[in-house]
Amino acid sequence: LDAENDADSDAICGHEDSCRYDAEHDADSDAVCGDVDSCPYDAEHDADSDNVCGDVDSCEHDNENDADSDVICGDVDSCAQDAENDADSDAICGDVDSCRYDSSNDADSDSVCGNDQRCDFDAENDADSDGVCGDVDSCRYDAENDADSDAVCGNVDSCPFDKENDVDGDVVCADVDSCVDDAENDADSDAVCGDVDSCRHDSLNDADSDLVCGNEQRCDFDAE
């Protein structure tokens, strides 16, 4: 009854053989005989349509076959195009992450990713170059950080090295003022500052010792 006498040599005569030209009798049990099955060992028939049958497809449900080469097939890879799989753990895959190694994604919006700078939260990146980032720098524009400790940062301190800020009001800061408490700065040029000069406008300092300063009398050298 089998004119071909068991064409596929499977010891089953053709009239009784469900797959008369397939010696393995539909090996993948997909109801398609092997001789006409494009993927005879893949019951899903190349499920991902990548022209690679599932039995020899390293990623049988990923038509890009692990595009990022991280040994994780795209259908189960949280970041199918990122081989490092979100290296900074910010829930943004590296292929679309503007700062792939900065989980804060340029927190200070200075266009420099945190992993590429020292001051992650200071857009000016330590403007005064004092080694203290602006977000934690008490004086962000004063490299000496209030050198005179008067609670006024040097960049806005009229006297950055004078804690009392020109106490005598002579517009000369104490650090360079020869007479710190004398607004006239030794008016009589006797090398004695006015605040401690008994005769602040008499360079001879009461030469006749009559207890009257020279600038207050007509006879500087006449005690009487």
Q: pLDDT digit string (tens) for 170-208?
A: 999 999 999 999 999 999 999 999 999 999 999 999 888
Residue 202 · residue 214 · CB < 8 Å: yes
Confidence of residue 38 (pLDDT cuts 50, 70, 90): very high
What percent of the chain has pLDDT above 70? 99
Rounded-to-integer distance, Cα 155 and Cα 161, Å = 11
Residues 6+ apart with CB under 8 A from 102: 88, 90, 113, 114, 115, 116, 120
Residue 88 · residue 97 · CB < 8 Å: yes
Evaluate if residue 223 carries a pLDDT over 70: no
Q: What is the structure's pLDDT at 5?
A: 85
